[in-house]
């Protein structure tokens, strides 16, 4: 019952903030990795190079589904912004469902930009069915396909080090985020810019102008402060002997 109430309150807050955001857009704080991503998108269009967007291997029906959905939302905006490039972005993944959805997402980005006829279906690729198999299959894309930036968003494990190492060997920009602590530590050490923690779920809000995405960030902040206040209240009550 409590879970239902929490979900209802969050949904109501998200709807209210979305409607409010349509009237008065919110200013987002600067995130260095997002600034680098903006620059990489613009340079890829100008230079005729392509972006490699790796979505990890998290499935939608597992606990990793949230990071996969966040990565797909960011991919849609990247596809829309690079739709006029000579070299379309390539999306790699290690899960069949995510691979199919990435194909549909790329097409949706081209459709939103009004250039659906430029969409290339084989730019969404299933590069492997296991953690290291997926990473090994994505490495040649970074090395051989005129990639100027390697963007890693989604669920990864230690195998993400293979992707960051290949990007470093080919001297291209790497930007990454994961919901896994092991992968996050590797990305923090091995990339020029890493998104930390929940910044993975904020990427689509920074790339697009949808008030719903911005509202979700506000809801996250509110929930975070509520949890902090509840923890402090619990500590205070314990100290006072109330509980």
Structural domains of the chain, with CATH = 37-216 (3.40.50)
Among 2-6, 54-58, 59-63, 72-76, the range scoring the smallest mean pLDDT is 2-6
**By three-state DSSP, how is residue 209 classified?**
coil
Structure tokens at 200: 């993975």
**Per-residue pLDDT tens for 210-236?**
666 667 777 777 888 888 888 988 888
Which residue would you say has higher pLDDT here, 99 or 214?
99
Reported as a single tens digit per residue, the pLDDT across 79-97 is 988 888 888 899 999 999 9
Tell me how far apart the alpha carbons of residues 23 and 134 are, in angstroms, rounded to a whole number.
Answer: 43
Among candidate residues 109, 102, 107, the one with its CA nearest the CA of residue 77: 109
pLDDT mean over 72-77: 90
**How many CA within 13 A on the CB side of residue 138?**
38
Mean pLDDT of 23-39: 75
∠ CA 209-214-219, rounded to 5°? 170
pLDDT band at 27 (very low <50, low <70, confident <90, very high): low
198 or 67, which is more confident?
Answer: 67
Q: pLDDT-based confidence at 54, cuts 50/70/90?
A: very high
Q: Which of 5-9, 43-47, 114-118, 151-155 has the lowest mean pLDDT?
A: 5-9
Query: pLDDT tier at 147 (50, 70, 90 boundaries)?
Result: very high
Closest Cα to residue 133, out of 60, 56, 71?
Answer: 56
130-139: pLDDT as tens digits: 889 999 999 9
Question: Higher pLDDT residue, 34 or 243?
Answer: 34
Angle at 168 between CA 174 and CA 141, to 5 degrees: 75
For residue 153, what pLDDT band results from cuts at 50, 70 and 90? very high
CA 180-185-188 angle, to 5 degrees, is 120
């Amino acid at each position: 019952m409590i879970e239902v109430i929490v979900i209802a309150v969050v949904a109501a807050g998200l709807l209210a903030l979305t409607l409010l955001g349509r009237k008065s857009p919110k200013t987002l704080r600067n995130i260095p990795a997002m600034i680098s991503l903006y620059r990489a998108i613009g340079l890829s269009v100008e230079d005729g190079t392509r972006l490699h967007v790796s979505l990890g291997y998290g499935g939608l029906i597992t606990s990793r589904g949230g990071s996969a959905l966040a990565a797909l939302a960011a991919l849609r905006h990247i596809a829309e912004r690079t739709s006029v490039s000579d070299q379309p972005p390539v999306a790699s993944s290690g899960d069949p469902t995510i691979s199919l959805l990435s194909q549909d997402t790329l097409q949706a980005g081209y459709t939103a930009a009004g250039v659906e006829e430029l969409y290339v279906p084989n730019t969404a690729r299933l590069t492997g069915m296991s953690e290291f198999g997926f990473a090994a299959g994505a490495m040649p894309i970074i090395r051989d396909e005129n990639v100027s930036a390697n963007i890693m968003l989604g669920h990864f494990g230690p195998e993400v080090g293979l992707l960051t190492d290949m990007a470093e060997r080919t001297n291209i920009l790497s930007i990454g985020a994961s919901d896994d602590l092991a992968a996050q530590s590797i990305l923090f050490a091995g990339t020029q810019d890493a998104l930390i923690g929940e910044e993975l779920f904020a990427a689509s809000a920074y790339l697009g102008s949808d008030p719903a995405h911005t509202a979700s960030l506000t809801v996250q902040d509110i929930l975070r402060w509520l949890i902090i206040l509840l923890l402090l209240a619990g500590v205070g009550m314990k100290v006072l002997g109330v509980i």
